[in-house]
Each structure stands twice: as structure tokens, then as C-alpha cells.
Amino acid sequence: MTAPTTAAPAWAPYGDASTDWATLGADTMLAREPVMNPHDKWEYEDGLMLGGVLAVHRLTGDPRYLEYVRRNLDHFVRPDGSIHAYRYDELNLDHVNNGKVVLDLYDETGEERYRKAADLLFDQLRHQPRLEAGTFWHKKIYPYQTWLDGLYMGSVFYARYCATFGREDLFDDVALQFTSAYDLTLDPASGLCRHAYDESRSMPWADPRTGWSPHVWLRALGWFAMAMTDVLEHLPETLPQRATILGNLRSLLGAVRGVADARTGLWYQVPDQGGRPLNYLEASGSLMILAAVAKGLRLGYLDDDWAGHLDHAWGSATREFLSLTDRGWVNVNKVCQVAGLGGAAGRDGSYAYYMSEPIVANDHKGVGPFLLLAAEMRRRRTG
């Protein structure tokens, strides 16, 4: 008697690296989330997502994407330039991130409401408390602390505002935000930057000698890599610190590449401890790093030897992180919902802490970099 054979299961394909993920992803947002924030909150991850939709708009010229961005942002930015649900008094860098989309719409329309809203967010930065090194505090409720996330949230907008409205006198200070944050968080032994730094050494999570948080966190590295890549576009090439930022970007990404998963080219939630139990390939940070790499290659910031890693890792990302529903909508899976330090929950920055945060799908912190990366990869493919 011949033993029965078991055929391999025939799963329907979800797509691959050649799929037009940029259009699928943007169309998904229009259909699945016509209102970007049903909780009526001014939240940084929405600006990240809208920036991704705008990247697809610039690639395709499809006016539906621009209309989606404008309709959602105009819910918050009033005709007089005030911003619904924004709290200036919190002095929170996260609240500034959406300002980049405000500037996008100002560039598109020239409408004064966007200029006034940008002025309001810029004024917050002019009054943001600082560490002794000159680096912005992350939030008023997190005194004497810099988090890598904050460079993407506040300082890219800072650079772009200065470039747009002729504040060349502040470019040195913009650059200082990046160079000081790198210096304060860099672990020379690994070449990687820690999630955060506490100047006061008073936080329970802070090393009493260095002020560092205990671990490297993938999404913090992703925020920082994207921030450095973006800010280089807005700083004049004659600014001496620009070369320093470019060198820091190359060094950091080189160290990040050194801890990539050998099979996929992607990265773990705690990226320098890939073999440790419970660690997992995380979507948002991996997509952020790849988006920074793709843009860096396009603009000549990175050497061409990154190209093979990018193409391999993008193919892996489509298999590890992306799926399509029966309606043809894109799901971005394996996203760490949130991670921070201190606060009411007493987040201690331990390995166990980073493993304990929920893993979700379709959080805008994953959707945004997916759209940015998908637009870059389509550009690479079509020229």
C-alpha cells in the first residue's frame, strides 16, 4: 500500500515586491479610513500617515490623495490658523509632527490658514525647554530628556519652516538638535543609539553614569534615520554641520545593517538581541529604516552597496508584514502599538517591557512608513 501524501497547502498570494503597493495602500486609506482620526485627536502618527499618502500623490498625480489629506487636515486647521485639539501648553514635540503636512498644503495652495498654523507650531519650538546641550526636551512632562522620536516629530519641521520662510539664522540650531541627540544617545561600542537620554539621571530607567535608557529600540532608530534623511533636504550644503549629520546617518545605518536578521534583512523589536526569546521582526521600525535607505539612495546620501540589501529586505517585508483582505485592502501587520519610558505606567525600558507592548495591525505608525517606502520602491522600479 502506498502511503498517502500530503500536498502543500495552496495559499492565495498576497503580492510580492513587484506589486503596486503604493497605489493599493493609498486606496486602502481612502476606503477604510475616510476619517483619519475618529477620536478627534491631534496625533503625530496621523501626520506620518498623511505624509505617506502625499508621497503617493506626488508619484501618481492622483488628485484623490491630495483631497483626502486636505479634508482630514482641515478638520483640525481652522480658517484662522488655530488648530483644534492642539495643546501648546503641553510643549510636546509629538504635537509638531503634523506641521510638515501643514507646510505641504501651504506649498500646494498658498492658503494663509496653513501659514498661520505653521507659525503657531514654530512658536512652540521657540519656547521648547532644552537640555544643557541645547537639545529640545521631548515633552514638558518629561523634563531633561531627549528621545530619538523627537527629532522626527519636531526638528524636521523646524528645518523645513526655516527653509520655507527665510529663517536661515536658525539653521545652526536646527543642526544642533541632530548632532547633540546623536552624541548624547550613541553607544560607541555598538554604533547604535539608545532610545532616550536623561540629563538629570533621575529617571528610574536612566543609567546613573551615562543617562542612557537600557536598550536600543527599533522604532526609535527608524524615527531618527528618517529624520536625518529628511532634514538633509532642507539644510544648505554650505552649512558645516550638514556634513556631520550625513556622516552620522551613514554610521548609524551601517551599525543598524550589522544587526539585521540574516534571513530577511529586516530588524527585531530590540534589534541587537535578535536571538533572544520573544523578540520578533517588527514592521514599523523595519519599514522606517528601509524608507530612509531608499530615499537616501535616491538622493545620493548612501553608497550603492545598500541597494542589494534594500531590494532583498523589501521583498521580505512584503511577505513578513503585508497582507491583502478579500476587499483588496492592505493590512500592515506586526506593528508595536506604542513604546515609551517612564510616565504614569512606570515604563522601565527593560527587555521585558519592550516585549510586553501589544502587537497590532494598521496602526498609522506602521502604515505611514509603509506608504513612504512603497512610493520609493515604485519609483525605483519605474524610474
42-91, pLDDT tens digit by residue? Answer: 999 999 999 999 999 999 999 999 999 999 999 999 999 999 999 999 99
Report which residue type is found at 107. Answer: D
Question: Which distant-in-sequence residues (6+ apart) come within 8 Å of 309 by Cβ?
Answer: 257, 260, 265, 293
Q: Tell me the pLDDT of the chain averaged across its residues.
A: 96
Please report, rounded to a whole number, the percentage of residues in the chain having pLDDT higher than 90: 95
Range 241-253 average pLDDT: 98
Question: Which distant-in-sequence residues (6+ apart) come within 8 Å of 122 by Cβ?
Answer: 99, 157, 158, 161
* pLDDT for position 179: 98
To the question of pTM greater than 0.95 for the whole model, the response is yes
* pLDDT for position 2: 52
Catalytic status, residue 149: yes
* pLDDT for position 15: 84
Retrieve residue 302's grid coordinates.
548612501
Please report, rounded to a whole number, the percentage of residues in the chain having pLDDT higher than 70: 97
Range 253-259 average pLDDT: 98
Catalytic-role residue among 46, 94, 149, 272: 149
How far apart, in whole angstroms, are the C-alpha atoms of residue 19 and residue 202? Answer: 49
* pLDDT for position 284: 99
111 burial (CB, 10 Å; 0-12 / 13-18 / 19+) is middle
Backbone torsion region of residue 343, taken as left when φ is above 0, otherwise alpha when ψ lies between -120 and 50, otherwise beta: left
3-class DSSP state for residue 318?
Answer: helix
How far apart, in whole angstroms, are the C-alpha atoms of residue 187 and residue 179? Answer: 14
User: 21-382: which CATH number, 2.60.120.650, 3.40.50.10490, 3.40.50.2000, 1.50.10.10?
Assistant: 1.50.10.10
Report which residue type is found at 370. Answer: F
Give the confidence band of 14 by pLDDT, cuts at 50, 70, 90. Answer: confident
Backbone angles phi, psi at 75, to 5 degrees: -65, -30
Give the position of cell 524615527: 223
Question: Which distant-in-sequence residues (6+ apart) come within 8 Å of 10 by Cβ?
Answer: none
* pLDDT for position 3: 53
| Paired sense of beta strands 196-198 and 330-332, if any | unpaired
How far apart, in whole angstroms, are the C-alpha atoms of residue 179 and residue 240? Answer: 12
Range 126-147 average pLDDT: 98
pLDDT at 281 over 90: yes
